[in-house]
Chains A and B, each alone.
Chain A
């Protein structure tokens, strides 16, 4: 373990499994979702609104993972839900509704990213963006350690942003704890083994750059 890692471990008092929590994973289509799907397919907008309630968090975060800006993520999430409504009768249930929805929002987000070149703008934080590293720094007990933690976390984030889009997307989705690897594979239309390799490779690259 590198000296940097030791110092971070001293500063941050986080649970060891913080990066593997997965509270929203749904293995099977729930009875409620199936019933809502049937009603929504019949044109019931209220039922579809309930489906939006159940999935808006994961859909929004998926868009945010690809776009990096909240405003764009909101628009992408909205477009994804509308397209899902339009294509609802084409959903045959081969995959879970949630996976189907994630695939739609991921494509929408990528379209926006390509069309507006947000990928390049995302590297620089805009003033209205909340810095997520505040949470990391806030865990440090003293101002001095807090400053060190902030600096370290900022460097990690910068290195993640420098990754290729393929590696970065996979790493962020996997680290978010919102999705199973199977769902990520479905979203990115990539074999499961490749997804696992990308996560490992992204971590290795970032870690090596931090050590360097």
Chain B
């Protein structure tokens, strides 16, 4: 008999024992009374996941509506300068009797650079004829007629620029 045989023998005897006679009865007594069918156990987590998905979808919809709302009202839309440039031609066309359609585009082409020497005296603005614009599409949204009163301005005198300072004062 070798060392290995002795070691194996002793090691085996460390686990050589019979289970208690009542082990089966103890196990059966400890089993849950009834086991739910698989489809019921699957339905509960599936329902929870579906409910969470619906809540997330509704929350996302509300969030999108809130985030898109201010943009329509102008806070996230084109800046004031762009709006002025777009509206101004439309107003000009309206004042000239042109047919105005719905304003569905905000894009404006690049402006040409014009090098014109600044006059030292600016003439007063011409008298503006009162302007009336028909309500703009879409149908159902009405805009009250806009009346612009004529402006009366005084002549503006601008002092000549000093060439030695390079215009930076």
Which residues of A pack against B, CB within 8 Å? Answer: 1-2, 4-5, 8-9, 12, 14, 16, 18-20, 43, 45, 48-49, 52-53, 56-57, 59-62, 64-65, 68, 70, 73-74, 77-78, 81-82, 85-86, 89, 130, 132-133, 135-136, 152-153, 156-157, 160, 171-172, 174-178, 202-203, 206-207, 210
Which residues of B pack against A, CB within 8 Å? Answer: 1-20, 23-24, 26-28, 30-32, 34-35, 38
Min CB distance, B119 to chain A, in Å?
Answer: 89
Q: Taking A19-B8, A61-B17, A65-B15 as contacts, is the C-beta distance between A207 and B3 under 8 angstroms?
A: yes
User: Which chain A residue shows the least CB distance to B23?
Assistant: A56
Q: Taking A132-B13, A132-B16, A176-B12 as contacts, is the C-beta distance between A8 and B1 under 8 angstroms?
A: yes
User: Which chain B residue shows the least CB distance to A208?
Assistant: B3
User: Which chain B residue shows the least CB distance to A57?
Assistant: B19
Q: Taking A52-B23, A77-B23, A82-B27 as contacts, is the C-beta distance between A19 and B5 under 8 angstroms?
A: yes
Q: Taking A14-B5, A19-B4, A207-B4 as contacts, is the C-beta distance between A56 and B19 under 8 angstroms?
A: yes
User: Which chain A residue shows the least CB distance to B8?
Assistant: A19
- With contacts A19-B5, A60-B19, A157-B14 known, what are 4 further pairs, Cβ within 8 A? A20-B8, A77-B23, A78-B26, A133-B13
Min CB distance, A41 to chain B, in Å?
Answer: 9
Chain B residues in 8 Å Cβ range of A89:
38
Contact B31 A45 (CB under 8 A): yes
Q: Taking A14-B1, A49-B28, A65-B15 as contacts, is the C-beta distance between A43 and B7 under 8 angstroms?
A: no
Min CB distance, A21 to chain B, in Å?
Answer: 9
Chain B residues in 8 Å Cβ range of A202:
7
Subset of 25 A-B contacts with CB under 8 Å: A9-B1, A14-B9, A18-B8, A19-B8, A19-B12, A20-B8, A43-B34, A48-B28, A49-B27, A52-B23, A56-B23, A56-B24, A60-B17, A60-B23, A61-B17, A68-B14, A74-B20, A78-B26, A86-B32, A130-B17, A132-B16, A133-B10, A174-B11, A175-B9, A178-B15
Q: Taking A56-B19, A136-B9, A176-B15 as contacts, is the C-beta distance between A5 and B3 under 8 angstroms?
A: yes
Report how far A132 CA is from B24 CA in the complex, Å: 25
Most chain A CB atoms below 10 A, which of B6, B16, B26: B6
Chain A residues in 8 Å Cβ range of B23:
52, 56, 60, 74, 77-78
User: Which chain B residue shows the least CB distance to A17?
Assistant: B5
Going nearest first, the 6 A-B pairs with the smallest beta carbon separation are A19-B8, A175-B11, A132-B13, A60-B19, A207-B3, A9-B1
**Interface of chain B, main secondary structure:** helix
**Interface of chain A, main secondary structure:** helix
Min CB distance, A163 to chain B, in Å?
Answer: 10
B5, B14, B15, B17: which contacts A18 (Cβ < 8 A)? B5
Chain A residues in 8 Å Cβ range of B20:
60, 74
Min CB distance, A195 to chain B, in Å?
Answer: 14
Contact A207 B7 (CB under 8 A): yes
User: Which chain B residue shows the least CB distance to A80?
Assistant: B27
Min CB distance, B16 to chain A, in Å?
Answer: 6
Min CB distance, A92 to chain B, in Å?
Answer: 13
User: Which chain A residue shows the least CB distance to B34?
Assistant: A43
Chain A residues in 8 Å Cβ range of B6:
5, 8, 12, 152-153, 156
Min CB distance, A46 to chain B, in Å?
Answer: 9
Q: Taking A16-B5, A52-B23, A53-B24 as contacts, is the C-beta distance between A157 and B31 under 8 angstroms?
A: no
Contact B14 A5 (CB under 8 A): no
Chain B residues in 8 Å Cβ range of A78:
23, 26-27, 30
